[in-house]
Structure 1
Amino acid sequence: MGGLVNKGGENVTEYILIITIAIAFLITVLISPIVIPFLRRLKFGQSIREDGPQSHMKKTGTPTMGGVMILVSVTITTLIMTGKFGAGPSIEVYLLLMVLLGFGLLGFLDDFIKVALKRNLGLTSKQKMAGQVIISIIFYFILRHHEFPTYVQIPGTNIQWELGWGYALLIIFMLVGASNAVNLTDGLDGLLAGTAAIAFGAFGILAWYGFPNIEITIFSLAVVGSLLGFLVFNAHPAKVFMGDTGSLALGGAIAAIAILTKMEVLLVIIGGVFVLETLSVIIQVISFKTTGKRVFKMSPLHHHYELMGWSEWRVVTTFWLVGFLFAVLAVYIEVWV
């Protein structure tokens, strides 16, 4: 697997990174005033859970499926920038786009069934899981064809575990697990867009300074730029939601980056907020089924703090801060330890 790994004699400066973020940001911002009214005219509005916080009921009807804008922006920016500053997109780029768009398509189908066909549950859990697993298996076999290493390394050490065929199970677990964990985090205005931008930014830094692979960096920062552009319209009070179209795609993509950069373990740290959100749901379910009691007022975790009386903006900015601290910790471990 080659791509645009920094090679001798190739001088690629940091301004490329700024341009990447700027292009993705501008694409998202420029197409949003077109896409959002279009979604509104199609009546692709969000349905709010009746058992959720009552303060959310006023969000009913807010256009969803805005993740389409993120997918378009990331794809265009990545292809432009990798084509401009390299010998064209590499296998890594195609793999990342395959996961992004594949999981995004699953999310799109889920959203479409919910908002257009008025089936609140969208795709069944088995249908969604089957699609995620199929994409993950394809991802693995492409890596295997290119003799991708199947070890896992402990960050900050020289310890490596060779998994062999077990690496296929790890890939499936990471891609499916991350996409669902990120999906759970998409519950408040700007929450996922902000935490995901921080997480992708951390991987972008590590792919640039630590790995190093410029094309993976470009993809990561294209996601950052598109999310910052999306935040212009998704910050509280949100004018559009990304829906499963965006959240499933982002979760799959960040796991794919962790795999391609051999930072599988660091995904747990960089995606710390997503891990906490998922754990809160698991703990809540186990506790209720075994004892009949709830540990949290509501899960995922962000709803717990809402019901404690925190404003939505306070919850979101606090989670952004926690996500930033996780990202700093991961970068420190990988670069300086």
Structure 2
Amino acid sequence: MLSNTIALGIAFCVMLLISPRGIAILHQLKFGQEVRDDGPQAHLKKQGTPTMGGILFLIAISVAILPFIKEKGVLPAYLLGLGFGIVGFIDDYLKVVKHQSEGFNPKQKMAAQIIISLLYIAYLYFYSGHTTAFLFPFLKDTEVTFGILFFPISLFIITATDTGANFTDGIDGLCSSVTAVIVFFLFMADRVLLGNAQLGALPGAVLGGLLGFLCFNAYPAKVFMGDTGSLALGGFVVAMAIQTETALYIPFFAVIYFMEVLSVILQVGYFKITHGKRIFKMAPIHHHFELLGWSETRVVTIFTTITILACFFVAFVLEIT
């Protein structure tokens, strides 16, 4: 508990110290957000707002975690998030600086994420002595041990969760707020509900970095995290879930991630089947609500509230089982 409190304080203070200058540098480098013409019209005013701000909270998290890097479970989870952040940085750089509309070649991007994921899974499986079991949702005292199937199952969970975090980033403060709640829940699950102590000071560092980032990312945002930030956050979250054996609960406590991915799948699938019809006004689903007339702050408030309630529900289930 003490190490997490210290890491949170360090990450938060580092964010407050480096962000004003960091945002100014992103401005100078012309790392500005490019807004889709077919998106909500209110987003057009965001054109040119610095993106790739995920670099800032990755720096803050790295500084905060350094004194605790030898704690159990910290290094593999940190490296997974950092690795995904680097992939996101390359994608952002190609989009924003090189003006390549698709960014990282999709196949190359997926290949890089798969390699990083497999290295992480292999470390847990072969070297860390970590169990290959996950808690089975809603069944008392039930764990499912997957053995060698831990590889494909974990790879699927990592890919899906990281995609969900990436899709959730699209409104000022949305991904930051939702993920901050999820990280706090995972910390409580690790230390209080399950007593595994598998995450060390990482939750505190990530939470501190996010809270500091929100000071500049909340509406109206002065900086966006970009794929650099959203992919890194997805990596941190899914690593913490896997190491606390709560990965099968992700669709429940990270329900917004799940909703965002599902909305895109449904939209694309329905569009193809019906040759042009749509279920939602726009996907991911947060844009659908914007086009219904919801303000960005309303979307963030409601989605964050849903996440809080979902985390309370899962905490209750874990407590009674």
Question: Which TM-score band (shorter chain)?
Answer: over 0.9
Q: In structure 1, what is the Cα distance between the partners aligned to 2:266 and 2:162?
A: 19
Partner of 2:236: 253
Structure 2: which amino acid aligns with 1:159?
T
TM-score by length of 1: 0.91
State yes or no: 1:137 paired with 2:121.
no
Comparing 223-232 and 147-156, the one that deviates more: 147-156
Q: In structure 2, what is the Cα distance between the partners aligned to 1:246 and 1:215?
A: 23
**What is the CA distance between 1:313 and its match in structure 2?**
0.9
Say whether the 8 Å CA contact 1:47–1:120 is kept in structure 2: no
State yes or no: 1:112 paired with 2:93.
yes
RMSD over aligned Cα atoms: 1.5
Tell me the percent identity: 41
1:105-143 deviations in whole A, cap 9, x for unaligned? 000000011111111211021111101100111111111
Say whether the 8 Å CA contact 2:133–2:146 is kept in structure 1: yes
Q: In structure 2, what is the Cα distance between the partners aligned to 1:132 and 1:65?
A: 18
Q: In structure 1, what is the Cα distance between the partners aligned to 2:272 and 2:111?
A: 26
Say whether the 8 Å CA contact 2:190–2:244 is kept in structure 1: yes
**What is the CA distance between 1:329 and its match in structure 2?**
1.1
- Structure 1 residues 79, 335: closer, same or farther in 2, change over 3 A? farther
Q: In structure 1, what is the Cα distance between the partners aligned to 2:124 and 2:186?
A: 20
Say whether the 8 Å CA contact 1:206–1:212 is kept in structure 2: yes
**What is the CA distance between 1:17 and its match in structure 2?**
3.6
Say whether the 8 Å CA contact 2:256–2:303 is kept in structure 1: yes
Say whether the 8 Å CA contact 2:193–2:315 is kept in structure 1: no
Say whether the 8 Å CA contact 2:4–2:203 is kept in structure 1: no
Residue of structure 1 aligned with 2:311, choices 327, 331, 337: 327
What aligned pairs does 1:2-41 form with structure 2 within 5 A after superposition? 14-41=1-28
Partner of 1:8: none
Q: In structure 1, what is the Cα distance between the partners aligned to 2:194 and 2:200?
A: 10
Partner of 1:154: 136
**What is the CA distance between 1:331 and its match in structure 2?**
1.3
Q: In structure 2, what is the Cα distance between the partners aligned to 1:274 and 1:221?
A: 21
Residue of structure 2 aligned with 1:266, choices 213, 234, 249: 249
Partner of 1:220: 203
Structure 2: tracts of 5 or more residues without a match? none
Comparing 161-170 and 256-265, the one that deviates more: 161-170
Say whether the 8 Å CA contact 1:281–1:301 is kept in structure 2: yes
TM-score by length of 2: 0.95
Say whether the 8 Å CA contact 1:284–1:299 is kept in structure 2: yes
Partner of 1:89: 71
Say whether the 8 Å CA contact 2:172–2:221 is kept in structure 1: yes
Say whether the 8 Å CA contact 1:154–1:265 is kept in structure 2: yes
Aligned length: 318
Q: In structure 2, what is the Cα distance between the partners aligned to 1:266 and 1:236?
A: 30
Partner of 2:188: 205
Comparing 170-179 and 98-107, the one that deviates more: 170-179
Match of 1:278, SS?
A: helix
- Structure 1 residues 279, 241: closer, same or farther in 2, change over 3 A? same
Structure 2: which amino acid aligns with 1:152?
F
Q: In structure 1, what is the Cα distance between the partners aligned to 2:6 and 2:197?
A: 13
1:250-284 deviations in whole A, cap 9, x for unaligned? 10111111111111112221111100111111111
1:89-114 deviations in whole A, cap 9, x for unaligned? 34x21101210110000000000111
Partner of 1:44: 31
1:282-320 deviations in whole A, cap 9, x for unaligned? 111111111232111111010011000111111111111
Match of 1:121, SS?
A: coil
Q: In structure 2, what is the Cα distance between the partners aligned to 1:165 and 1:254?
A: 23
Say whether the 8 Å CA contact 1:204–1:217 is kept in structure 2: no
What aligned pairs does 1:301-316 form with structure 2 within 5 A after superposition? 301-316=285-300
**What is the CA distance between 1:15 and its match in structure 2?**
4.6
Residue of structure 1 aligned with 2:84, choices 100, 103, 106: 103
Structure 2: which amino acid aligns with 1:89?
E
Partner of 2:44: 57
Structure 1: tracts of 5 or more residues without a match? 1-13
Say whether the 8 Å CA contact 1:107–1:246 is kept in structure 2: yes
Structure 1: which amino acid aligns with 2:117?
S
Partner of 1:318: 302
